[in-house]
Structure 1
Amino acid sequence: MDSMGKYIRGYVRIRLESPAPERFFSLCVHNRIPLRNLTQEGSCYEMELSARDFLRLGRFRRKTNARIHILRKNGLPFFLHRAQKRKAFFLGILLGLVLLAICSFRIWDIQIAGNRYYTTPVLLETLSEWEISCGMAKRNVDCQKLMQKIRQTFPGIVWVSARLEGTCLIIDIKENDEIPQETPVKEDTRSCWDLTAPWDGTVVSIITRAGMPLVKPGDLCKKGDILVSGAVAILDNDSQIQRYEYVRSDADIVIETRFPYYDEFSRTITVKSYPGEQKTYPFFTLFGTDISWYHTPKNTSEIYRTERQLTLTPSFYLPVTVGEIITIPYEKKSYCYTPEEALELSQKHLQNFLKNLVSENAVILSRYIQIKLTANRCRSQGYITIQIPGSDKSAVTPKEFPDLSAETTE
């Protein structure tokens, strides 16, 4: 605290040359002039004292026939005296502080967290339609009304929080993660179905949980054939069909089938080469206006832009963005795959196709693929034998049965 007061009042460091330094020090003590950091350099003495006390040394200097040299001037009064020649510098600091104060009353960033179904661009576009965007005054944002409008506009959002921190509008939302319950449907012929074959093949296994199976393992089937019927016959004591009940067929069915495979691509493609060096252009954005030395390249180039918004604190964003624009020139050239490269690429396509089948729980039994190369094309054609679970649903067809009441007895 003493050092702070010393800086505010100002102090000087002097060098004293006198034939009677003891008398000079006695006069200072008698007149209550404190001397600090006193050191001796040969026959000279160096010391520090306040700027006000320095002005009182004139008569002491004459009485002791001393010579006093000022070595340094420190403190706020001397700083302000030197700053008179740099008015523009301090005026710029003052204007900067005023600009920061003005910016603190506006929003310069909007952060949205917790959204998955409703994307951030969609939410920001909706806020823009409500005249809520970067650069607006914070006093014009009513967080309570904003939360209410978000819940009304987006029914999938069950909870929302909006708050202002610094120059940032922070919106936290929570979406409805629950799966909507299915509305129970009365089980009549319109809500029931048969299970049909999705491919031609041979039934490998069938485990029925609901419905009437019409095939057994080893039977051949065509695409669209009914494998499990949704019409279940109800028999009487004489094993006669009394009526049909209609259900939603459910079964695990595995079918062995042949999947046709066809893949064709051109051996001649267009590739990029990068003969030149990339160029970097720094830029900054002030209140939405880009200021940079970037100019559109004359030749074809890839252009990348990276930017970062400046902040004073984690929640105090500034309307200033800095970044750089990178241009990489390139040329397009034609390239023809060699036979070895074409075969390798064809094998990659085949492996991707097989991975997709395996992801659907298919078991690959065998494959027969022929690859044919021409001057410009590569063609792969054949079939793949697999065992794959699956079935299609089709609306059940009401069935007729004999009207036993109409029968006559002899």
Structure 2
Amino acid sequence: MAGFKFIYGCVTIHVMSGSRERFINMCHHRKICLEHVISGDEYLEAVISARNFRTACEIAKKTGNKIRIKKKKGIPFIAFRYRKHYSFVAGVVLCMAFIYICSLFLFNITFSGNSNLTTPVLTRYLESIGVKNGCRTACIDCNDIEKKMREDFDEITWVAAAVKGNHLYISIKENDSFEGEIKSTEIPENIIASDDGTIESIITRSGTPLVKKGDNVEKGQVLVSGVVNICDDSGEVIAKRGVTADADVLIKTEMIYSDELSEKYENKVFTGKTRVNAVIRAGKYIISIGPGAVGLKLCDKKEDYTTLKINDDLYLPVSVGKITYYEYKPEEYTYSDEEASAVLNGRLARLLSQLNQKGVQIADERVKIFKNNDIYTCEGALILISPQTVKENVAADELAMPDSKISNGEKKESN
């Protein structure tokens, strides 16, 4: 609301003499909003919009009041004050032209609803189809973007794209039950093992299972065949049909783990000395104002940028921020046995956490930590349970019937 006051202008008035109560009632009747009203013994102070000032003067004349302007604020008054300053007028015109030109080009893309598909992946995809920061908003076809994303990403079940100002909003809904590639047409496929291991469990939905729980399998071995035999009443195979094999197969595998840590290490000890540079960034051009890292021998830097915008839908192609340099001195330290074990166990725990997030179960950990000279080593094996499978197309000869069986089938038909 304060922004609109500044755009349209507002006036702080003193109402003196006459009937102030009648003045307020008539303003209310004429729908003139009085804000920040202060009532004194001999005056009334209030804020009204500039466009209502003439009407308020007419009301004051009828009620016997006198109005005195105490303060004027807003763009109309500034423009009137500098109406003969041509450079000011030219600056305003150029500013408005700059804002208009910025509104013609895309400067920000926001994704919402994406989980499996990360923002960098989606951003690179949009760039591949010609939608990127700096392109003209008039050339962006939201319907075309929606169609292409649904066609190229099987994970996406619904997508909506909209351009507001120079901001592209893309809302996505992903298929939560999506697992791997979904085929629009059924293509005969086998499920094969992608690593050596032991079958922990197998649940088949389509296809012919060739292994059972407890079987040892090798990499590349067919676990579920995409060939389904069609038998007659006597159990003899009379035909073969190709299907897309679908099954939940968990394989227990062994992962060799090894990690090393040097006994001596360097640690950064920050001295407290810093240098700060103000930075203005416009596209590929960067203007840095400040001393930089002058006087600092070794330092880390932290960058912090903010994109300028007029509102949430209109961004400017300019970012401002700062770069802070922090001086440090490297000092050599030595791990104790307890510290080294904590570091190595921490790395192992992070790996196990990443595996768990990918749906891998940890059946057993067979690792140990030992020291050899000045090197700490953590090595052993991890027993994992995971769907270590991939799919491959069924070969044409797998679907072919032997000649003897074809002839037998023909004889049965003739009989």
Give the TM-score normalised by the residue count of structure 2: 0.55
User: In the alignment, what sits opposite 1:258?
Assistant: 254
- Whether 1:235 and 2:231 are equivalent positions in the alignment is yes
User: In the alignment, what sits opposite 1:106?
Assistant: 98
User: In the alignment, what sits opposite 2:402?
Assistant: 401
**Which SS does the other structure have where 2:97 is aligned?**
coil
Q: CA deviation at 1:113?
A: 5.1
Contact residue 369 and residue 380 of structure 1 kept, 8 A? yes
**Which SS does the other structure have where 1:218 is aligned?**
coil
Matches of 1:240 and 1:300, distance apart in 2: 80
The correspondence for 1:294, drawn from 291, 295, 299, is 291
Matches of 1:354 and 1:327, distance apart in 2: 35
Matches of 1:265 and 1:339, distance apart in 2: 11
Contact residue 103 and residue 318 of structure 1 kept, 8 A? no
**Which SS does the other structure have where 2:294 is aligned?**
coil
Query: In structure 2, what residue type is equivalent to 1:297?
Result: V
Structure 2 counterparts to residues 302-313 of structure 1, below 5 A: 302-304=300-302, 306=304
Structure 1 residues 226, 118: CA separation in 2 closer, same or farther (over 3 Å shift)? closer
Matches of 2:201 and 2:238, distance apart in 1: 30
Structure 1 residues 334, 230: CA separation in 2 closer, same or farther (over 3 Å shift)? same
Deviation digits for residues 138-185 of structure 1, max 9, x if unmatched?
xxxxxxxx423565996659644354xxxxxx4344467678996643
Query: In structure 1, what residue type is equivalent to 2:269?
Result: S
Q: 5+ unaligned residues in a row in structure 1: which ranges?
A: 7-36, 38-74, 77-89, 133-145, 164-169
Query: In structure 1, what residue type is equivalent to 2:299?
Result: S
Query: In structure 2, what residue type is equivalent to 1:161?
Result: V
Q: CA deviation at 1:222?
A: 2.5
Q: CA deviation at 1:350?
A: 1.7
**Which SS does the other structure have where 2:343 is aligned?**
helix
Query: In structure 1, what residue type is equivalent to 2:163?
Result: S
Q: 5+ unaligned residues in a row in structure 2: which ranges?
A: 1-10, 17-41, 43-68, 71-81, 112-118, 150-158
Structure 1 residues 158, 309: CA separation in 2 closer, same or farther (over 3 Å shift)? closer
Structure 1 residues 127, 391: CA separation in 2 closer, same or farther (over 3 Å shift)? closer
Structure 1 residues 216, 318: CA separation in 2 closer, same or farther (over 3 Å shift)? closer
Matches of 1:176 and 1:313, distance apart in 2: 24
User: In the alignment, what sits opposite 1:161?
Assistant: 163
User: In the alignment, what sits opposite 1:223?
Assistant: 219
**Which SS does the other structure have where 1:118 is aligned?**
helix
Contact residue 243 and residue 401 of structure 1 kept, 8 A? no
Q: CA deviation at 1:347?
A: 0.8
Matches of 1:292 and 1:352, distance apart in 2: 41
Query: In structure 2, what residue type is equivalent to 1:215?
Result: V
Contact residue 210 and residue 251 of structure 1 kept, 8 A? yes
**Which SS does the other structure have where 1:355 is aligned?**
helix
Q: CA deviation at 1:297?
A: 0.9
Give the TM-score normalised by the residue count of structure 1: 0.56
Contact residue 276 and residue 325 of structure 2 kept, 8 A? yes
Contact residue 294 and residue 325 of structure 1 kept, 8 A? no
Which stretch shifts more, 148-157 or 241-250? 148-157
Which stretch shifts more, 322-331 or 146-155? 146-155
Aligned length: 302
Matches of 2:202 and 2:402, distance apart in 1: 27
Deviation digits for residues 34-81 of structure 1, max 9, x if unmatched?
xxx9xxxxxxxxxxxxxxxxxxxxxxxxxxxxxxxxxxxxx99xxxxx
Contact residue 147 and residue 162 of structure 1 kept, 8 A? no
Structure 1 residues 362, 268: CA separation in 2 closer, same or farther (over 3 Å shift)? same
Structure 1 residues 183, 258: CA separation in 2 closer, same or farther (over 3 Å shift)? closer
The correspondence for 2:344, drawn from 330, 343, 346, is 346
Structure 1 residues 218, 319: CA separation in 2 closer, same or farther (over 3 Å shift)? closer
Structure 1 residues 4, 285: CA separation in 2 closer, same or farther (over 3 Å shift)? farther
**Which SS does the other structure have where 1:106 is aligned?**
helix
Query: In structure 2, what residue type is equivalent to 1:118?
Result: T
